[in-house]
Amino acid sequence: MAVGTARSLLAETARRLAVRGAVRIVMLSDLGFEYGAGGAMRRQIQSLLLDGHDVGVVCAGMMREARVVPAESPDVSALVPRGRMLRGRWLGVQSVPSSACMDPSRPRSCDVSVVQAVAALEPDLVIAGNMHWSGWSISLLDVLVRRGLACVAYMHDLHFLTGRCCQPYTCNSYRLGCDSHCPTATSYPALAPSLIHEEWMLRRRVFLETGVPLIANSAWTKACADEAFGGRAQTSVIRLGIDTALFSPIDRGLARELLGLGTGPMVLFGAVDTAQPEKGGPVVRRVVEMLSREGISFAAFGFGSGAFAGVRGLGYIRDERQMPLVYAASDCYFTASAVESFGQTVLEAAACGRASVTLRRGGIVDIARDGINARTFHDAVPEELAAALRSIVMEPTRGHGLGSAGRKIAAEEYSLDMQAAAWRHWIASHGERAKS
């Protein structure tokens, strides 16, 4: 299929935006609002609804399996930003669990039920997010374009670039050709080695030959896409936004009282699965050991957060409306994650007025700015990370200054309104391209 078809469909979407002032959007997702990418998608939907667009979701599972979740369902109450009204119409969630196929021995599938669910909502634009849990084939985007639907792929990670993995870390094969020699073929999302090269080639067909655009969540993610496709794919950056009225500074003493946490200096860390090695678990353990002896306490959220000795494990918190209290109770946020494409937890901490200590890897540096609102390090040296945390939590004035700067960054650059404006500009830009 010629690139012109995908471009002409996007130009038509831009025309409808210019005429109507808003468009109808379907978000494609593997797990609905679950986990990190699901939370990011929910925030995208919030911004789009605030901007007057009609939005619905088609997913493979986890969001009330096999039925539509309508606008009045209590499950979607978290869509409404604090103190604001949604101008657009929420179309609900259509879950199609029968379409999921995670058998690593089978090729990724393009289930007709997913295509039908999307088409039934009559979207002006389809935004595809994470698809790896579902086992959906990337060819789904090609099929939707053939059905006359404008599509774009939003990169929460690097799965749209590789033959199977979400984050290649130090592996560079995705740049030249993932194949049967993949060193992590049995890791999530597992895929038989014999199928990996075809998946890598399929992405080249969808994003180069069909011309489906890619939108990255950070400058680093975009740079990875440009490198993977030799600068030939259409790539852009739309940063994720956050409800800065919900994620905002709260009195530390009040937060600790409500959560039952003690007094004294405290560091917070967390992730969906805190204990994963790629989230820096071994380094975090060492830092905890060092600073706990000095009277600095630690709390953690996420699956596996209870596995750290001497750390108050808060578990996986499903309702993000509880998270501002968690950040407010801390003096500093800490992550030793090997690579983050964006770094939502660091953004959340910044919005809540908390400084961060992070590694200087991936897209996290867009938010964690060394010496401004954070201390960032290239290498995961426990002694250096511990020293940075110590200096922040033991010097309240320093921590407050970094936290205030982080709040300013979140409010001025990462609000839901900023995200909505970026999406509107991106859609409208395709009308301008059609004229040139």
pLDDT in tens, 158-168: 999 999 999 99
Dmax (CA) for the chain in angstroms is 66
Give the per-residue pLDDT at 63. Answer: 46
Give the per-residue pLDDT at 118. Answer: 96
Fold of 3-241+416-435: Rossmann fold (3.40.50)
Q: Which CATH superfamily is domain 252-413 in?
A: Glycogen Phosphorylase B; (3.40.50.2000)
The answer, yes or no, to whether residue 212 has pLDDT greater than 90, is yes
Distances (CA, A) of 338 to 35, 145, 211, 341: 19, 36, 31, 10
pLDDT (tens digit per residue) in 307-340: 888 888 888 888 888 899 999 999 999 999 888 8
Give the per-residue pLDDT at 278. Answer: 79
Question: Mean pLDDT score of the chain, rounded to an integer?
Answer: 91
Which pair of structure tokens corresponds to residue 114?
A: 């997913």
Q: Which pTM does this prediction carry?
A: 0.93
| Between 313 and 403, residue with greater pLDDT | 403
> Mean pLDDT over residues 63-74, rounded?
49
Contact 296, 262 (CB under 8 A): no
The answer, yes or no, to whether residue 73 has pLDDT greater than 80, is no
> Mean pLDDT over residues 36-43, rounded?
91
DSSP per-residue codes, 313-371: E------GGGHHHHHHT-SEEE---S-BSS-HHHHHHHHTT-EEEEES-BGGGGT--BT
The answer, yes or no, to whether residue 95 has pLDDT greater than 90, is no
Name the residue among 422, 326, 430, 414 with its Cα closest to residue 51. Answer: 422
Give the per-residue pLDDT at 436. Answer: 56
Which pair of structure tokens corresponds to residue 165?
A: 């993995």
- Which among 68-72, 130-134, 431-435 has the top mean pLDDT? 130-134
pLDDT (tens digit per residue) in 344-401: 999 999 999 999 999 998 999 999 999 999 999 999 999 999 999 999 999 989 999 9
Reported as half-sphere exposure (CB side, CA atoms, 13 A), residue 238 has a value of 30
- 343 pLDDT band, cuts 50/70/90, is very high
Give the per-residue pLDDT at 101. Answer: 85
Specify the domain boundaries for CATH 3.40.50.2000 within the chain.
Answer: 3-241+416-435, 252-413
DSSP code of residue 237: E
> Mean pLDDT over residues 173-199, rounded?
95
Give the per-residue pLDDT at 67. Answer: 45
The CA distance from 415 to 217, in Å, is 14
- 50 pLDDT band, cuts 50/70/90, is very high
